Amino acid sequence: MSAHDLLVLEDVTVRFGGLTAVSHLNLRVGAQDLVALIGPNGAGKTTAFNVITGVYAPTSGRVALDGVEIGGWRPSRICRRGVARTFQNIRLFRGLTALENVQAALSGAHRSGLRDVLRGPAWHRHEVAHAESARGLLARLGLERFADARADALPYGEQRRLEIARALATGPKLLLLDEPAAGMNPSEKEALRGFVARVRGEFGIAIVLIDHDIPFVMNLCDRVAVLDHGEKIAEGAPEAVRRDPKVIEAYLGADGEAAQAPEGRAQRGEAERSS
């Protein structure tokens, strides 16, 4: 934790009617940190993501990015400010190609106007540069061979990767991965771990990822925060958190072994292979 934190959650509470999804959450993420947010189902992990990305406004408390309060901003504005995310149940632009998915997210892509109609030489240069940087990003993430395939025709693991590529296309400082390992088998998970570590190194960004599974985040993350019933019950180095009695209790009741924590809802979302 550096003095200048990239993301600061201070006493953030999110309430839906009588249900408190996130309660007095404090979390700090420094530039280039790799933090895991774990906890049982319904612990408020995704709600925490939603409040950071602007899907929900915090009921109370403060969300700040780079010292600027962003709580309650529209998601698109927060994204342009430098926070990108993936979704628990992959939300690609299914009918578009992999390349178009990345292109749609590249910053400045959402401007259309008269120059698109007139199409002067500057437009053509911009269009070529735009497609090239999208292709370059796909190549960096090992997805170039899928560039012209429809997103929903990609294999499941590659769809997860493409979603990360699309998030990276927005040029984030902070990347939020919502259960990137969901539905993966052990060898795919292993590959994903390497991938996440590489992304952090190569892009020099901070990453917060959600998972159920302590072993998965064990050798990957610098720090683990554990949520249960909307509250943070532990935070620290993975090894310490794993042995924390409160964490063990949250996962398995009073006695048990946290390392055998539930694998998560490992239903594999069948990637539809429509042509």
Partner 1 sequence: MRGRGALLLLGAIAALAAAELALPELLNRYYLTILVRILVAVLAATSLQLVNGFTGQFSIGHAGFMAVGAYVSAAFSVYLGAGWLEALQGVLPAGLARLAYFPLPLLAGGLAASLAGLAVGVPSLRLRGDYLAIATLGFGEIIRIAILNIDAVGGARGFSLSAPAGVDLRYEGIGEIGAVVALSMFVMARLVYASGGLAFRAVREDETAAEAMGIPTTRVKVEAFVVASFFAGVAGALFAHAEGYVHTNSFGFVRSFEIVVFVVLGGLGSFTGAALAAAVLTAAPELLRGLGEWRMILYSILIIVTMILRPQGLMGSRELSLRWLRRRPAAVAGGAA
In whole angstroms, the minimum distance from the beta carbon of 142 to partner 1 comes to 21
In whole angstroms, the minimum distance from the beta carbon of 122 to partner 1 comes to 13
Range in contact with partner 1 (rule: CB under 8 A) among 2-10, 72-80, 207-215, 232-240: 72-80
Amino acid at 133: S
- Using the rule CB under 8 A, is 127 a contact of partner 1? yes
In whole angstroms, the minimum distance from the beta carbon of 205 to partner 1 comes to 15
User: Parallel, antiparallel, or unpaired for β 5-16 and 19-30?
Assistant: antiparallel
Q: How many degrees, rounded to 5, is the angle at CA 135 between CA 201 and CA 203? A: 15
d(CA 89, CA 207): 19
176 CA to centre of own chain: 2
Q: Toward partner 1, which CB reaches closer, 131 or 218? A: 131
In whole angstroms, the minimum distance from the beta carbon of 241 to partner 1 comes to 29
Range in contact with partner 1 (rule: CB under 8 A) among 17-25, 114-122, 179-187, 213-221: 114-122
d(CA 241, CA 9): 20
Residue 243 · residue 227 · CB < 8 Å: no
- Using the rule CB under 8 A, is 126 a contact of partner 1? yes
Amino acid at 127: E
Residue 177 · residue 85 · CB < 8 Å: yes
Q: Toward partner 1, which CB reaches closer, 160 or 166? A: 166
Report 209-248 residues binding partner 1 (CB under 8 A). none
Q: Toward partner 1, which CB reaches closer, 7 or 79? A: 79
Question: Which of 28, 160, 166, 189 lies at the binding interface for partner 1 (CB under 8 A)?
Answer: 166
Q: And the tokens for 122?
A: 């500057």
Question: Which of 67, 113, 120, 253 lies at the binding interface for partner 1 (CB under 8 A)?
Answer: 113
Amino acid at 160: R
- CA-nearest of 37, 41, 39, 43 to 14 is 43
Dihedral, CA of residue 86, residue 171, residue 101 and residue 109, to nearest 10: 140
Q: Toward partner 1, which CB reaches closer, 23 or 47? A: 47
Q: Return phi, psi of residue 191, to 5°.
A: -65, -40
Q: And the tokens for 216?
A: 């998965």
How many residues sit in the footprint of partner 1 (CB under 8 A)? 40
Question: Which of 53, 173, 177, 207 lies at the binding interface for partner 1 (CB under 8 A)?
Answer: 53
- Using the rule CB under 8 A, is 159 a contact of partner 1? no
In whole angstroms, the minimum distance from the beta carbon of 254 to partner 1 comes to 39
Report 73-112 residues binding partner 1 (CB under 8 A). 74-77, 79-80, 84-85, 87, 91-96, 100, 103-107, 109-112
Q: And the tokens for 44?
A: 């408020």
- DSSP bridge partners of 15: 20
Q: Is 230 exposed, middle or buried (0-12, 13-18, 19+ CB in 10 A)?
A: buried
- Interface with partner 1 (CB under 8 A): 53, 55, 74-77, 79-80, 84-85, 87, 91-96, 100, 103-107, 109-113, 116-117, 119, 123, 126-127, 130-131, 166-167, 169-170
